[in-house]
Amino acid sequence: MHSRFLTRKTGVRRFAANVRFTHEPLVTSSDRFSFTVNGRDGAARTGAISMPRGNIRTPAFMPVGTAGTVKAMYMDQVRELGADVVLGNTYHLMLRPGAERVADLGGLHKFMNWPHPILTDSGGFQVMSLSKLRKLDENGVTFQSHIDGARHVLTPERSMEIQALLGSDIQMQFDECVKLPCSDEEAERAMRLSLRWAERSRKSFAGKPGQTTFGIVQGGAVPALRIESAKALADMDFGGLAIGGLAVGEPQDIMLQMIEVVEPHLPQDKPRYLMGVGTPDDLIEAVSRGVDMFDCVMPTRAGRHGLAYSRFGKINLRNAKHSNDPRPLDPESNCPAARDYSRAYLHHLVRSEEILGMMLLTWVNLAYYQELMSGMRAAIAEAHFTDFKQQTKLAWALGDV
């Protein structure tokens, strides 16, 4: 299955990104957190994070389960698509149903019926983007809930306490994320505050054996600030480091430039996580620059709004041209939603705002994202990543209509 093959329509040679790797082996779990790089091709690398609850094959895409659910998906579906880890959100879960309640009910894994690794973000981004009347100071952030207007205080210590109550396996430091573009002065202020909060988060981390915490590199679009942040966090000995504050309004070339600036200063023996990213093109470009982990709401959100991702590129099922099209999205896909339903039917569901349409297209999109990650892992292991990247992008550009 790792070999190349000819497409029926264009003759373009395609690699593993375009087939499901249903038999890709899992590595043996460990009673502690560890990370191993098993292969490299240029800056791209493939490996595995080993944890008591299971293993995360890298590069990895984490479906976003914001409020304890990956929207429009059953959790066993998510697992069957190849996901090793999902993301939960501290901000949303602290507001509803409440971290203490989740803990009383046995923790987030039991609550959402996902016995595999979970990463929780710190809530910092959502506090800045969703909450009302927020007030930020050295201690933390005071804000009003976007749900009911109730007043809350979130500090580095409280963020880590919430994540401990949830029982997540990878817990993120509390940070301040600024929108781009912003002034250099604003980027520097937020970066330095995030570094102080990183130290407080690390000291407050009360994880059980096998759990870990990640620091978050900030600094806006200023290379010197990004480098300073990365170096300082590397000295704090986190389990891994994330690159935050990107995909928040800046062009892709700025995002990629910041990854290139930061990567040489990140520890080689720890996983690198690009937060909140992104499109399939973002993923393949970031992997080529040494990133190991990703999360994004894009595949699930797009699916709920009629947009499918596939090896042919994006397909907008709202378009009238699909109304009489009997073809499936991809007759060669291992995902039943992409293989067994006509475009005409999917178009009908989308235009009728049927819940089934949202479910099927979310399934399609998450399947493709996991296929893309599996293909990248195989290509890196076989030292064909550059070829893989070129052929995958060419297939997107050619489309299928």
Question: Of 273, 296, 319, which closes a domain?
Answer: 296
Same-domain check for residues 200 and 52: yes
Residue 221: what are its φ and ψ, rounded to 5°?
-105, 30
Same-domain check for residues 99 and 183: yes
Same-domain check for residues 210 and 146: yes
| 151, part of any domain | yes
* Amino acid symbol at 197: W
**pLDDT, tens digit, for every residue of 257-315?**
999 999 999 999 999 999 999 999 999 999 999 999 999 999 999 999 999 999 999 99
Element (H, E) at 306: none
Same-domain check for residues 270 and 354: no
Euclidean distance between CA atoms 365 and 337, whole angstroms = 10
**Residue 378 in tokens:** 């195989």
Closest CA to 290 of 342, 243, 337: 243
Same-domain check for residues 178 and 94: yes
Q: Compute the chain's Rg from CA coordinates.
A: 21
Euclidean distance between CA atoms 278 and 284, whole angstroms = 10
Tell me what pLDDT residue 380 has. 98
Same-domain check for residues 117 and 264: yes
Buried b (16+ CB within 10 A) or exposed e, 108-136: bbebbebebbbbbbbbbbbbbebbeeeee
Tell me what pLDDT residue 207 has. 86
Same-domain check for residues 371 and 229: no
Number of structural domains (the chain) is 2
Same-domain check for residues 119 and 193: yes
* Amino acid symbol at 12: V
Per-residue pLDDT of the chain (401 residues; tens, 9 = 90+): 333 333 434 444 344 344 344 446 555 567 899 999 999 999 999 999 999 999 999 999 999 999 999 999 999 999 999 999 999 999 999 999 999 999 999 999 999 999 999 999 998 888 777 666 788 999 999 988 888 989 999 999 999 999 999 999 999 999 999 888 999 999 999 999 999 999 999 999 988 899 999 999 999 999 999 999 999 999 998 999 999 999 888 999 999 999 999 999 999 999 999 999 999 999 999 999 999 999 999 999 999 999 999 999 999 999 999 999 999 999 999 999 999 999 999 999 999 999 999 999 999 999 999 999 999 999 999 999 999 999 999 999 999 86
| 380, part of any domain | yes
Same-domain check for residues 285 and 371: no
pTM: 0.93
| 18, part of any domain | no
| 22, part of any domain | no
User: For residue 338, with 0-12 CB atoms within 10 Å meaning exposed, 13-18 middle and 19 or more buried, which class applies?
Assistant: buried
Tell me what pLDDT residue 95 has. 95
Euclidean distance between CA atoms 195 and 333, whole angstroms = 45
Angle among Cα 207, 259, 285 to the nearest 5 degrees reads 105
Same-domain check for residues 205 and 275: yes
Element (H, E) at 229: helix 223-235
Contact 123, 89 (CB under 8 A): yes
| 191, part of any domain | yes
Question: Of 296, 317, 349, which closes a domain?
Answer: 296
Residue-range definition of the domain harbouring residue 177: 34-296
| 392, part of any domain | yes
Same-domain check for residues 215 and 240: yes
Element (H, E) at 49: strand 44-51
Contact 2, 207 (CB under 8 A): no
Question: Of 296, 313, 334, which closes a domain?
Answer: 296
Tell me what pLDDT residue 248 has. 87
Closest CA to 171 of 210, 228, 229: 210
Q: Which residues have a catalytic role annotated?
A: 121, 295
Percent with pLDDT over 90 in the chain: 84
**pLDDT, tens digit, for every residue of 105-121?**
999 999 999 999 999 99
Same-domain check for residues 308 and 249: no
| 84, part of any domain | yes
Tell me what pLDDT residue 29 has. 64
| 111, part of any domain | yes
Q: State the Cα torsion 22-73-122-291 to the nearest 10°.
A: 30
Q: Which residues pair with 56 in a beta bridge?
A: 49
Tell me what pLDDT residue 249 has. 85
**pLDDT, tens digit, for every residue of 15-58?**
434 434 444 655 556 789 999 999 999 999 999 999 999 999 99
Euclidean distance between CA atoms 347 and 330, whole angstroms = 15
